Structures are given as structure tokens and as C-alpha cells.
Amino acid sequence: MKIDILTIFPEMFDGFLNTSIIKRAIQNKLVDIQIHDIRKYSKDPHKKVDDYGYGGGRGMVLMPQPIFDAVDDLKKENTKVILMTPQGVTYKQKIAYDLAKEKHLILICGHYEGFDERIRTLADMEISIGDYVLTGGELASMVITDSITRLIDGVIEKESHLNDSFNSNLLDYPVYTKPIDFKGMKVPEVLLSGHHANIAKYRQNEALKKTKQRRPDLLENGDNNG
């Protein structure tokens, strides 16, 4: 899987790419993540990437030229181009599973007050990560990249994501580690019993209980993972 990310703030990705599971996935060549500075593609003598919007009102708008040239440079036969925007479809685990099957993604991070409407014509899909406004698409593109990378074979143990919240429309069951008694709060007896069938039953019940309490909408919404 290759993921190319177009941004005007490449430095935002340093910590993300150099930490923990994402870092190891890159080192093990399970995913190739490349950050591209949109400015590099600007044909403007001052490497401008944005300008005032026609009609006035809002502030700076990303210009089409650098982004069109970047996509033209990076796009191959099997590429899916995704625009990060609060106007896109709301991101869900089901979309992560679908995208994890792709060979090559280009994620375009919008910024400032917006991007020229013509940039939309480049995109196969527009994604929002939720109903709130970020200063730019960078954090959203990291969310997408993280959630896809952990689904790639070999990145984490398969068991870890087979049990994920949302796969079965249920939130995760509670987990405990040492000590058995912490400030009077005890690990449930059944988890210490070694009785696998009872443990499975307990976990299923707890997951259902938690989901009913906190996210009853998940139980009504059918399948989330396709």
C-alpha cells in the first residue's frame, strides 16, 4: 500500500510517521507513506499556493494549479484520490476496511478557509472525519492513514483488529491487567477463572451492556465493517 499525502504543512507529519506502530510499518515496508509539499509544485515565482477568493468574504483559498500538477505527477493506474474536507462523507470503520484494500491513495489536505472548487474534480471521494471544523485536513489525513495502516496484513496481530470496537457493531469489552486489587477495585473473578467459555460469555455481555448504555445507535445501524 502506498499513501501520498499533499499538504502545505509537511512538518506536521514528523511525529506521526516516526512513532510506534506507523513507524514500524514503514520500516518493515508494509506501507509506503510519502508527504509532499504542495508548494514544491507551485509555478508562481514566489511559490504561492493560495490567494484571495473571488467575490470577497472569506480569506485565502488554495489555488488549483499546484494541486492539479501534484496529482498529475503522482497518479497511476490504480490510484484513488481523496480530498479531506468537512463537506465529505463521514469517515467510518467500514470505509477504512474498503480503503485498506486499495493499492495507492493520494490524500489532499485542504487548508485555510478553503480550496478552489475546481480541485473537487480531481477527487474520487471526499472524506470528513466528523462534524466539527479543523484548521486543515492534515490531522484528518493522519486519522485516515492510521486507521488504514493498522488493517494492513502484518502491521498488528490480526486478532487485535478482529476484536475492534465497531466490527461487530459493539463497543469493546473492558480489559484488566495487574494488580488484581487496585485501591479496592478488583478484577472480575471470571477473568481469573481460566474458563474460556465463561470468559467469552462475560465479554459479550459487557460489550452489549456498554453499547446499549453509550451508543445505542450502533445497535440500530446494522453492519459497520462490510
Give the residue, chosen from 45, 77, 133, 223, that forms a contact with ligand 6GU under the rule CB under 6 A.
133
Whether 24 sits among the annotated catalytic residues: the reply is no
Residue environment code for 79-88, b if the CB has 16+ CB neighbours within 10 A, otherwise e: bbbbbbbbeb
Phi-psi region of 112 (alpha: psi -120 to 50; beta: other; left: phi over 0): left
Q: Is 129 in the site for ligand 6GU (CB under 6 A)?
A: yes
Which are the contacts of 160, defined by CB distance < 8 A and separation ≥ 6?
A: none
C-alpha cell at 151: 488493517
Closest approach, Cβ 2 to ligand 6GU, in A, equals 20
Nearest 5°: phi and psi at 95? -70, -35
What's the angle, vertex CA 106, arms to CA 102 and CA 124, rounded to 5?
75
- Assess whether 126 carries a catalytic annotation: no
Task: Determine if 171 is a binding residue for ligand 6GU (CB under 6 A).
Answer: no
What value, to the nearest 5°, has the Cα angle with vertex 39 and ends 33 and 40?
70
Inter-residue contact 95 to 106 (CB < 8 Å): no
Nearer to ligand 6GU, 122 or 170 (CB): 122
146 is catalytic: no
Using alpha carbons only, give the angle 151, 146, 124 rounded to the nearest 5 degrees.
Answer: 85
Footprint (CB under 6 A) of ligand 6GU, residues 38-97: 84-86
Least Å distance, CB 58 to ligand 6GU, is 13
Alpha carbon separation from 165 to 48, 94, 136, 149, 151 (Å, rounded): 43, 12, 27, 17, 13
**Would you count residue 114 as binding ligand 6GU (CB under 6 A)?**
no
Of 133 and 197, which CB lies nearer to ligand 6GU in the complex structure? 133
Question: Minimum Å distance from CB 141 to ligand 6GU?
Answer: 7
Name 147's Cβ contacts closer than 8 Å, sequence gap at least 6: 91, 93, 96
Shortest CB 35 distance to ligand 6GU, Å: 16
128 binds ligand 6GU (CB under 6 A): yes
Contact residue for ligand 6GU among 136, 146, 167, 174 (CB under 6 A):
136
Interface with ligand 6GU (CB under 6 A), residue from 8, 22, 140, 148: 140
| Least distance from ligand 6GU to the Cβ atom of residue 8, Å | 13
Active-site entry in 113, 116, 126, 172? 113
Binding residues for ligand 6GU, rule: CB under 6 A, are 84-86, 110, 127-130, 132-134, 136-137, 140
